[in-house]
Amino acid sequence: MLIAFCGIDGTGKSSHSKEIGNWLRNKGIKIKDSNLISDNHLFYDTFKQVTNMYEEKYEEDTDEGFSVLLAFEFFRRAKEVEKDISDGIGIIADRWTYCHYAYNYARNVNNKFANLLLDSCCKPDLVFLLDLPVNAALERIDRRGSRSYNETTEVLEKAREKYLEIAKEEKAIILDSADSFEYNQKIIKNIIKDKFEI
């Protein structure tokens, strides 16, 4: 079982994935929560250090180089996920490779090596795309604190466009993140029950 939650920043991915992980654990199912890249992860801290070093030395961004580094880490972590699944552990993913594709598109990055790594990662059994207009997402982001590198109107608009395109290709379940958390949880849980006969 691999269930992924995707969407632009501010749509509630983390909240929904955490709730679903807890719900499945309460049903006696072995579950691990996974965030391929997170602020608490050693890789992310090192990655920020390296990107700062580069930008200070060369006074420019290198979105393509950074994309490859992130794709490599996604690939490495996806291998760990595959092992967990083969050991009978279900994975609830707060973000998946689709997030990287969406933000690469938003930043006009199309790197063959990064794409190869991402394409080689295992595919989720279910993908939930939490969709929300960018202005509403930014309002949520502003309420929780300062904006990150990707949290601009331009980047989020393009990322959202790509997410909706990917959702069609991957047959993702699109949820309106403007609906209540409880309403969307009910939909998510019913879909999971049907899919996995829980």
Q: Which residues are annotated as a binding site?
A: 7-14
State which H helix or E strand residue 31 sits in: strand 31-34
Do residues 160 and 8 make contact, with C-beta atoms less than 8 angstroms apart?
Answer: yes
At 77, the amino acid letter reads R
- How many CA atoms within 13 Å lie on the side-chain side of 77? 24
55, 140, 10, 26: CA torsion to nearest 10 = 130
- Residue 102 corresponds to which tokens in the numbers above? 């969406």
State which H helix or E strand residue 154 sits in: helix 153-170
Burial of 26 from C-beta contacts in 10 A (0-12 / 13-18 / 19+) = exposed
- Return binding residues for ATP: 7-14
Bridge partners, 129 (sequence order):
6, 174
